[in-house]
Structure 1
């Protein structure tokens, strides 16, 4: 049974790593649910001590850019360690962990809902909004605006690799008018755009945005065209480790060549980054559940969340505690 669950987690991690799950929210919810399921099936302390860190590390490494994934799994792991310090009843521990999974999931959805409502207030009747990749929170923001009777249209690039933009366009087309175009045409269409809305994989301490590759080009073009650029990101997507000087590692996958390029296989290196970094000077505001903030204010929010100097427990330190508690 445990081996089957570990295999499921391995398959999930592979899908995440290859960008097959588009939304960071969906990535995190799938991941914490899988860990909750794993803990519920463990029958002895020793097995828990050995396999829990392996499973969590595999999920973290599958999407190292995701601050929400790291923060959620850190919170879940702390709950596990705290529970083990109080009881060795694995049924009780499983109950606590799965309650925490539901709590984290509810918190994510509630914060996204608040972010979306605030973002929808920035949409005016008649606006053309450019979005990038697929985002549940951006979708909610547009849905709220439309439900309030605002007429709007959406522009969206394909968002290669993965073509999340095509998936998003299909979903948005049920709500409003959508224009889908190739990624390289962003500058051509920017003249028709009123605002840019993107989500976030992570927000660094300096206010930089880590998001799907192509976001930084969109931000640069929007800056040139004087189009306001907004990132919709709850504070759980702030990457506290960057406050201490750590860098966010960007995922990169091997690129499968199209039919017309197959003759080049083995002769060239072909890669595609999944994410890029947008400098804070190209971001007009980050829309959080606390309201709109300037990128330069991110450090203040991190101080509010983690204190000063910031106390940020690493996952590895929690794993060490796990080993010590179980013995």
Structure 2
């Protein structure tokens, strides 16, 4: 079931800052359909884990933290709507289905593992309903708190003495998180402190998250934003106005390699060439210390129609082969600082990552 609406405050968490991407109602989860923004603000109401998993696959909701939070709510819904017979088997199946929705963002698996630990401690369906819903809300609340803490750590790392300009890629704001944002949260904080001249936002092909989502979020809040084609980033950095490239992450490995939206790696190369700082901002749930390096990260590839056409409009010959990875891996040696709510790692390597996350 779906319903049109405006993104107003959500029952959970209570301190959301910025645009709302999801609303929890105990027996249902509402997701703002991000595929339709900015032309239409449309909410989809989901009452089961299968619908949440499908929404994650179809990119109704996207952004690593938001995917994890949505999956947690999906497990809570599985308990709310379990048949009452073999309710444990139903919840286990829901967890498996949610885990299969997308492969790269580690937040998804982190959230599901956390929900699974709570589930294993439940002795009745009533207890499972109560405890799983509370855990999902806690995951949502903690993500928002982490975003606010990351903004503080990032400004301390940047040490801006006067207003500066930044460049960002994809969408890492309230739409992609539990509220406020990761990389976009840092940009929000710069704006709040009157330390921001301008944000340059890559359009972010092929789903245009920069055009449709980042520019929309920033414009709604009166934050000065200039939209640019991805291929214009080098020319922008060459102007010497931008002092930092600030991006999010979907997975960070033990040596500091970072998987993020396709195009991030090339930005890191450009930033190093132009002597511009390169900052990755992500919650600690994005750090996967079980993987030695970026070579171990599974990179999701999606179907070629996302490149060959846009919303049904042909952009290329129908039968042409397409290479469509959703993410790329930026080597740690191109990253100046990784910011999490636990602190920062400058010039990340296995020793620095181990000291903070080991």
Q: TM-score, normalised by structure 2?
A: 0.75
Contact 1:6–1:55 (8 Å) recurs in 2:
no
Q: Which of the two has greater helix per residue?
A: 1
Find 1:30's aligned residue among 64, 70, 77: 70
Aligned equivalents of 1:128 and 1:246: distance in 2? 32
Aligned equivalents of 2:315 and 2:124: distance in 1? 58
Contact 1:216–1:278 (8 Å) recurs in 2:
yes
Deviation at 1:123, TM superposition (A): 6.2
Change (3 A) 1:176 1:6: closer
Q: Deviations over 1:124-171 (max 9, x none)?
A: 332110111000222222222222222420011101121110120122
Q: CA RMSD of the aligned region, Å?
A: 2.5
Contact 2:183–2:281 (8 Å) recurs in 1:
yes
Q: Which of the two has greater strand per residue?
A: 2
Which residue does the alignment assign to 2:166?
129
1:49-68 equivalence runs, <5 A? 49=89, 51-68=90-107
Q: Deviations over 1:245-287 (max 9, x none)?
A: 992211111122135545x32x332241111100000000101
Contact 2:284–2:341 (8 Å) recurs in 1:
yes
- Whether 1:206 and 2:255 are equivalent positions in the alignment is yes
1:76-87 equivalence runs, <5 A? 76-83=115-122
Contact 1:76–1:97 (8 Å) recurs in 2:
yes
Find 1:104's aligned residue among 119, 126, 139: 139
Contact 2:71–2:111 (8 Å) recurs in 1:
no
Find 2:124's aligned residue among 89, 94, 102: 89
Which residue does the alignment assign to 2:334?
282
* SS of residue in 1 equivalent to 2:329: strand
Which residue does the alignment assign to 2:291?
242
Which residue does the alignment assign to 1:184?
231
Contact 1:158–1:182 (8 Å) recurs in 2:
yes
Aligned equivalents of 1:58 and 1:241: distance in 2? 23
Deviation at 1:29, TM superposition (A): 1.6
- Whether 1:301 and 2:353 are equivalent positions in the alignment is no
- For structure 2, the residue ranges without an aligned partner over 5 or more in a row are 1-26, 28-44, 173-180
Aligned equivalents of 2:52 and 2:83: distance in 1? 23
Alignment size in residue pairs = 294
Find 2:266's aligned residue among 196, 217, 221: 217
Q: Which moved more, 1:211-220 or 1:108-117?
A: 108-117
- Whether 1:16 and 2:53 are equivalent positions in the alignment is no
Q: TM-score, normalised by structure 1?
A: 0.82
* SS of residue in 1 equivalent to 2:163: coil
Contact 1:128–1:195 (8 Å) recurs in 2:
yes
Which residue does the alignment assign to 1:325?
none
Aligned equivalents of 1:245 and 1:229: distance in 2? 17
Contact 1:16–1:27 (8 Å) recurs in 2:
yes
Higher relative contact order (CA 8 A, sep 6+): 1
Contact 1:80–1:97 (8 Å) recurs in 2:
yes
Deviation at 1:79, TM superposition (A): 1.1
Deviation at 1:25, TM superposition (A): 2.2
Deviation at 1:54, TM superposition (A): 2.7
- Whether 1:120 and 2:155 are equivalent positions in the alignment is yes
* SS of residue in 1 equivalent to 2:302: strand
